[in-house]
Structure 1
Amino acid sequence: MMTTLLSAYTPVLNTGNTAWMIMATILVLLMSIPGIALFYGGLVRQKNVLSVIMQTMLIVGVVSLLWVAIGYTWAFGTGFKESGSWAWFFMGGLDKAFLKGVTINSITSTGIPELTFAMYQCMFALITPALILGAFAERIKFKGYMVFTILWVIIAYFPMAHWVWGGGFLQEMGALDFAGGTVVHINAGISALIMCLMIGQRDDYKKGHAILPHNVTIVFMGTSFLWLGWFGFNAGSGLAADGLAANAFLVTHVAAAAAAVTWMAIDWMCNKKPTTVGACTGAVAGLVAITPAAGSTDLVGAFAIGIITPIVCFIMVAVIKPFFKYDDALDAFGVHGMGGIIGSILTGVFATSSVTGVGGAEGALYGDWHQLWVQIEATLISILYSAVVTYLLYILVDKFIGMRVCRRVEEEGLDIYEHGESAYN
């Protein structure tokens, strides 16, 4: 993601860039509500669909407030750097708490209001914890989930956003993450894996038969909103309406299309029928993997990432998960975690100066093996940090509040017991 710090000169408002970034912000919001709410909601059983919707709504409300209060300054503040404090390693500063000093006259280097940039980044903070809930769907207490999410966003998301996008050490070491391979997808996907391992299998999962989605039409609708919203997610991350945005737009769509077709073909070969859920899952896997590479790879990279990713993710979902018997209910780790890891590493293979510019980063395919190592190192750091933070937070919240519902609630459905409502009368 390109730098957003105010330039030494006085930037001039660019109305074209501003209009595009407002639109991109709206598109990214569509990924959470209704995108994730419908995608995950359709995959669970009808007795639990409202619990997924409510978990998503909780994130949108609570994380938005946390972001404007401390998240933005944590990730993009510069107070600690200017003062030379050791705390700069972990966070930007407190100089912009509650958006202090961010006025309608604050303009970034690409000519957009800093308020617009703050709102755009808020949408990334929303979608990240929303991705995690797919791993432990149908068996988590709403109260425990709320406390865990608040703590996780503060301790896991805000620092990593600072490290990768706010001038932190991962950005300084040259890691490429245009729109969230490490910050969003690896962060959420690894946390999802730790959560599903610690909360345990659903009771039904132990019986060895598939737990089918209750409404595939809703799954398709959620995928459609995700695909549409991803254009704001990736094409907006250059913070300008320019050629880089056009390239990100193109490679995002091509990677998603290639991944959807690839998963469909694998489904057809292995299960004798191409499925709607499979095609939707493949598209999402492709969107995930192209995210870190959208600002550095061209059409060749998009095709390669779109073909490689669904193959690996399919193996994770259809082979590895059943073999190890962990209950990643909606494949949050299998798709988002693995997709993010693949995309982050392959960025170091397919990055090209034809996109990054003269003298810009290039990947191993174009002779720069150092960039590949940087990507691997950043990926490993992200995995380790997310895993440790999630493990410790789960133990803490489970001890004092409790994370898993009782057997009767799980059996009869979270919608009625946790929210007093039913999706279908």
Structure 2
Amino acid sequence: MGFLNVTVALVAIASLTPVATLAQTITPALDGTGTLIEYQGQTYRITGGTEAGGNLFHSFEHFGLNAGQVAQFLSQPGIENILGRVTGGNPSLIQGILRVSGSNAHLYLINPAGIIFGPGSSLDLSGNFTATTADRIGFEGGWFNASGPNDYSGLGGNPQQFSFLQANPSGIVNAGDLITSGNLYISAGTILNTGKIEGKHVILAAVPGQSLVQLAQPGMLLRLEVDRSEIAAGITALDLPTLLTGSGLDLPVAVPPGAVVITNTVQGQTVDLMAAERVRPSDPKLIRTGDGTGQDPTVVLFPENLEDPLSVTMIDSRVDQPHDLLYGGNSGTISRVIPPDAEGVGAISATLERVTTPIDKLKIVAEGHEGNIWLGQTWLNADNIQDYQGAMG
């Protein structure tokens, strides 16, 4: 990674035409993907589709659920990922249960027109869950396009990229209970959470348009790149007020484009909150990490120029208003709050190891004077800071 410029800051001790009502039904797209749907009672049984290299692909014209309804994706051993796209140009209003049966496959739902998880929505699956408004998902052998034709023969292995080709991607709203024992990932142009989100590793990423999200290995931070590809005949993105039209939901707070706005619980062993604008929790205590008692997510504010390097800011929890510093950083920063029982230099090292983009600066914000500071349980001063340079990059 190379030598970093380390700065210590001392703190004195003291579109398509919007529909009036969102249709809540699931219908297959007649595009050759082969998705079959059988409605039994309150359950949509989803079978068929196209298999490729451990992946099962589905294509829907419409995808929505009323309260009490179930979308059951039928899988089988050997299927690693189930990926469903929504091609009709209308947002998905999901007020029921998303279920995976027959395997521990991970579920991906992609709708560039936007996704709303209503108050009655929940998950019933043992794998990871991903919801995105990207225009396409990249694999080593090609792209799974959210609209238009696909060559499924090259789409084996795990997804590697999400491509947002439109200038202002649609948003995702969660007012339900998105809880899974696996990882949970939401990526969109704007994200509003008024419900509950819980997973092992949780990532909420409000990304800018014309960007390429590089999916990293578990535990690593996402990397963004500029995507100058031209979008073909695609689905028109919707802003958040238009997305919510006909859903029965209102905006409880202002939600700027590119923001992650949180008014209810987000919990995971690790939580990454990433935004092109700001991460805006109504209360920092809503973000719970570790065993549920910590409040130390990693906050990433993407740079205005995605080709610029990032800086890292480590904030000791004993400074005044540490969460104001955590969520109020400049664009192009990765920030964390270090609790008093954490090994400070180890936390720096662990954070840097998760970053796959260039870093040009490391800043430590802590209480102290004349070069003597506490960072977590680590005492740093002019005499020993050089000993830690290797661990700090």
TM-score category, normalised to shorter length: under 0.3
| TM, length-normalised to structure 2 | 0.24
Q: Which has the higher strand share?
A: 2
| TM, length-normalised to structure 1 | 0.23
Q: Which has the higher helix share?
A: 1
- Structure with the bigger RCO (C-alpha within 8 Å, sep 6+) is 1
